Amino acid sequence: MPFFDQIAPFLQVLRIEDGLADNTCAAYHSDIVAFLQVVGEAETVAADDMRAYARYLTQGGYKSASIQRKMAAIKRFCRYLFMQGRLSEDISLDIEVRATPRPLPVGIFESVIKELLAQPNGEDRYQQRDHAMLCFMYGTGLRVSELCSLKLSQLGLGESWVRLVGKGNKERLVPIPDAVGKILKSYIQTARPKIRLADRADWVFLSRGGHAMSRQSVFQLVRKYALRMGVSGMHPHQLRHAFATHLLNRDAQVRDVQACLGHARLSTTQKYLSVSTAHLRRMYDKSHPLS
């Protein structure tokens, strides 16, 4: 298949020069392969091919955000082909990829989060693990992937700091609230050793089989405990949203929250300010005598 041999070196450039994470590169690989399979055996790629593929995706029922992401990956690959001399012109310049406005994260009241954290209240090892895990997610604002890959060696200073490796392999230090540190320490010392293969594993949060927790398992646990409260559709990333929003509601500096979340751009963090403002607006409209 034409250009297929260029995918691997292209992804290598993304990893080394741009520092993109493996998951991002995997998404690029999938998007580019799908595009080349539709193009077929053509000896070159033209701007019309890209436009036709965009229509093909639209007819296939893909959402606007997914189409924009896929086309952005293809544009970048075509620009790489041009720079390598495999295309006679940079056709990516002829294709406009319009940015799709991201919806604001859904705000969650502090009382709802506190109720969620209290759901795993049993004394067995797995209830203690789940309690520590939920508190740690909300207390540090880390991503699900960071939670699943978290190792004991990343904890320091008596469980008061955690060293995280986020997107693009960028490291950051995030403080652990004292209350969360005590819960985490109790889990590590009393519950974790009772989980199978705990003495051979370095992951903080272990599955019943003694392996690292999977993303799917974390999603299922959050959903299970939320349903106990009568709340449906809750997912782990909402704990990260709540972490940021609640800090900003209590007058934390945006730059400090950005550092904790590991956002490369300040604008990504500032969307949580909009959530805080929206919540304030609803409260004002509901409570003020002139509303």
Q: What is the full DSSP assignment across 66-135?
A: HHHHHHHHHHHHHHHHHHTTSSSS-GGGG---PPPPPPPPPP--HHHHHHHHTS---SSHHHHHHHHHHH
Segments making up each domain of the chain, as ranges: 4-94, 110-286
Phi, psi of 164 (to 5 degrees): -110, 145
Which tokens in the block code for residue 186? 């109790």
**Which of 43, 54, 47 has the alpha carbon at shortest distance from 1?**
43
Please give the structure tokens belonging to residue 22. Answer: 């493996």
Starting at the earlier edge strand, list the strands of the sheet with 171-175. 155-156, 161-165, 171-175
Q: Which of 19-28, 76-85, 205-214 has the highest mean pLDDT?
A: 205-214
The pLDDT of residue 291: 45
Query: Both tokens of residue 14?
Result: 């993304």
| Residue 129 annotated in active site | no
3-state secondary structure of 34: helix
Q: Is 138 a catalytic site residue?
A: no
Q: Which of 70, 76, 240, 241 is catalytic?
A: 240
The DSSP letter of residue 265 is S
**Class level of CATH domain 110-286:** mainly alpha
Is the confidence at residue 247, as pLDDT, over 70?
yes
The answer, yes or no, to whether residue 101 has pLDDT greater than 70, is: no
**Residue 203 in this model has a pLDDT that exceeds 70:** yes
The top-scoring range by mean pLDDT among 32-36, 99-103, 166-170, 260-264 is 32-36
Q: Which of 172, 237, 271, 279 is catalytic?
A: 237
Of 196, 195, 189, nearest to 126 by C-alpha is 195
User: Mean per-residue pLDDT for 41-63?
Assistant: 84
CA gap 225, 78 in Å, rounded: 46
Report the alpha-carbon distance of residue 105 to residue 74 in Å, rounded: 28
pLDDT tens digit string along 206-239?
A: 999 999 999 999 999 999 999 999 888 889 989 9
pTM of the model: 0.62
Q: Please give the pLDDT value at position 236.
A: 92
Q: Which entry of 143, 192, 241, 246 is annotated as an active-site residue?
A: 143
| CATH of segment(s) 4-94 | 1.10.150.130
**Does position 280 have pLDDT exceeding 60, yes or no?**
no
